[in-house]
Amino acid sequence: MRYLIITLLTAFLISGFTEDEKVTVGTATYTYRLFNDEFEQTATLTFSEEAYKFVYRQIEGGVLELEQGLKYQKIYSDADGHVFFRNHLKDQSYQRTFLRRDAYQLEDQISHQWEIQSDTKSIAGFNCTKAIIDFRGRRYAAWFAPDIPVNAGPWKFYGLPGLIMEVKDDKGLISFQLNDLTFPDKRYTQSPDYQYSGEKISYPDYREKEIAEWHRKVKKSKAIASRMMAEDPELTITISAPAHPTFMETYDFEKKD
């Protein structure tokens, strides 16, 4: 059972800004699920009218490596984690992510074209409206709360007239669901910013590295299988792997005419 914890100071929404409260910041946490629950993390969203930052940490402060037979998994992150940052005033977006133990920084260019629907439902006590978008090879349905008039949401989803509370793709592979919300959050007095370490790289170059890493993992899995069959002559293992992994996003430079 999931529990929602809501802390909402509605008086602020009515009164607006004061001279001493020039920046109003909110925080929220989401459950981030990827590829049929094979990957699940809790992510944090920090947002203001000017900017927002979405962060998840796969293993805080370290690296976990599991190898059990053919089940081989690597999970990467440092204490700062994976980050997506959006500055609305400067129209800039940045992503920080990892391959193995290496952090990379990428500047993103996003142009959302939402289709707002008539469907509504309640999420965490807020009346939410549905919106649809085709974004980088996937079709998503999002639910946003007009009563929380901020341009922010989980991951790279923004551009709706209200905080995005939930996002799911139509294949059931990717989802972001709100866990808790504090708005305003008095612990913060400044808009979120972006100051992180990591090699700056273009998306084409990063994709090339991702594909190389995929081939490295496939090769290692096959080597493990060969070793196991050598140790047990009666054992037969067949490994079938696609040429490329399944990516969350398909970029413009990858689209074929």
**Contact (Cβ atoms closer than 8 angstroms) between residue 182 and residue 7:** yes
In three-state secondary structure terms, 118 is strand
Listed in sequence order, the residues at least 6 apart from 186 whose beta carbon sits closer than 8 Å to its beta carbon are none
In three-state secondary structure terms, 29 is strand
pLDDT at 37: 54
Give residue-wise pLDDT tens across range 54-99.
999 875 444 444 444 444 445 577 889 999 999 999 999 999 999 8
pTM of the complete model: 0.81
Per-residue pLDDT at 108 exceeds 60: yes
Domain residue ranges of the chain, discontinuous segments joined by +: 5-200, 203-254
Give residue-wise pLDDT tens across range 23-53.
899 999 999 988 755 678 899 999 999 999 9
Q: Nearest 10 degrees: CA dihedral of 99, 101, 105, 111?
A: 40
| Burial environment of residue 242 by CB neighbours within 10 A (0 to 12, 13 to 18, 19 or more) | exposed
Give residue-wise pLDDT tens across range 178-236.
999 999 999 999 999 999 999 999 999 999 998 898 888 888 878 888 888 888 888 88
The H-or-E segment that residue 31 falls in is: strand 26-34
Listed in sequence order, the residues at least 6 apart from 194 whose beta carbon sits closer than 8 Å to its beta carbon are 53, 83, 85, 87, 94
92: its two tokens: 């800039």
Within 10 angstroms of residue 248's Cβ, the number of other Cβ atoms is 15
Q: What is the topology classification, in CATH, of domain 5-200? A: outer membrane lipoprotein receptor (LolB), chain A (2.50.20)
**Contact (Cβ atoms closer than 8 angstroms) between residue 122 and residue 128:** yes
234: its two tokens: 């009666």
Helix-then-strand count for the chain, H and E: 2, 15
